[in-house]
Chain A
Amino acid sequence: MTIATTTELICFLVLSAVVVFGALGVVLLSNIVYSAFLLGGVFTAVAGLYLLLNASFVAAAQILVYVGAINVLILFAIMLVNKREDLKAIANLGVRRAVSGGVCLGLFALLVRVVVTTPWNLPGPPAVGEEATARIGEHLFTDYLLPFELASVLLLMAMIGAIVLARRDVLAKDVVTGETADQALIEKARTPLLLERRSS
């Protein structure tokens, strides 16, 4: 083993330990704020794995989009809905967790079997290495041009949809007739609509 391989191996082991234990913390910790910060750690470690795979552009995109945008968005959501609530106890919660854990372990065993038994076509063609960013640009503007443009439309739709879903409408007047809106109805719309159903 050369020094380079050993360094790569140590980096891989450390990063995968961070990924696995961070993900377990995200799922298992009771405090959701800790989970959100651990999720940022997991995303960063995955970006490190991409760097190990010689993909600097995707690693940078991972840091920018996941750690910079999605994680911050999740933290904002936690702050907006931050309420300590005592969850109602569920019957057979332990059984439910054990059964779903068994199902997940079975899925893992299945995936491991596929990974081990598939005859991978290795080693593949020589990796492009540092040219990866230029190759991605070529792909995006030649054979993946349509998905690229569709992705921009999708992002626009998602942005408008998120704004429409999250805003709270207060109309001064009726859109159709032009009359001033019934303020009592607006006040009613501000109260939670489905509370009475929950209490029943």
Chain B
Amino acid sequence: MTDLLSGFPSLQAFLFLAAMLFCIGVWGLINSRNAVRVLMSIELMLNAVNINLMSFSSYVDGDLIRGQVFTVFVITVAAAEAAVGLAILLSLYRNRVTVDMEQFNLLRW
């Protein structure tokens, strides 16, 4: 415990926070009925991954900071994903007039 508290906030503290955020995102992804909330949960999970990458880049890879470059790429892909996801959601809403995830069973066997 003293090892954890010396030089706090340590790498482990950031990793705990990211793990918590990721698990909350997974729970929301599974349990949301509203399709917009599912997209929000995906953004939460991406942010958790970004926190991981940033803390690794700061604590373990301090001189090359490759994690920060990866975070920039993840942010780019997240922006593209949000745009396409919301467009899909809009056209889905046009055809089904609902945002309930339980009603989107068109591709189910």
Q: Is A3 an interface residue (CB 8 A)?
A: no
Assess the B27–A104 pair: CB atoms within 8 A: yes
- Asked whether A112 and B80 contact (CB < 8 A) given A77-B36, A198-B103, the answer is no
Minimal Cβ-Cβ distance residue in B for A9: B8
- Size category of the B interface is 35 or more
**With the chains together, A157 CA to B109 CA distance in Å?**
31
A130 CB to nearest B CB, Å: 12
Tell me how many residues of A have a C-beta within 8 Å of chain B: 90
Assess the A42–B47 pair: CB atoms within 8 A: yes
Chain B: interface secondary structure? helix
Contacts of B37 in A (CB 8 A): 26-27, 32, 35
Assess the A128–B65 pair: CB atoms within 8 A: yes
Enumerate chain B interface residues (CB-CB to A < 8 A): 7-9, 11-17, 19-28, 30-34, 36-37, 39-41, 43-44, 47, 50-51, 54-55, 57-66, 68-69, 71-73, 75-84, 86-91, 93-100, 102-103, 106
Enumerate chain A interface residues (CB-CB to B < 8 A): 5, 8-9, 12, 16, 19-20, 23-24, 26-27, 32, 35-36, 39, 42-43, 46, 49-50, 52-55, 57-58, 61-62, 65-66, 69-70, 73-74, 76-78, 80-81, 83, 85, 87-88, 90, 96-97, 100-101, 103-105, 107-108, 111-112, 115-116, 120-128, 132, 135-136, 139-140, 144, 147, 151, 154-155, 157-159, 161-163, 165-166, 168, 192-195, 198
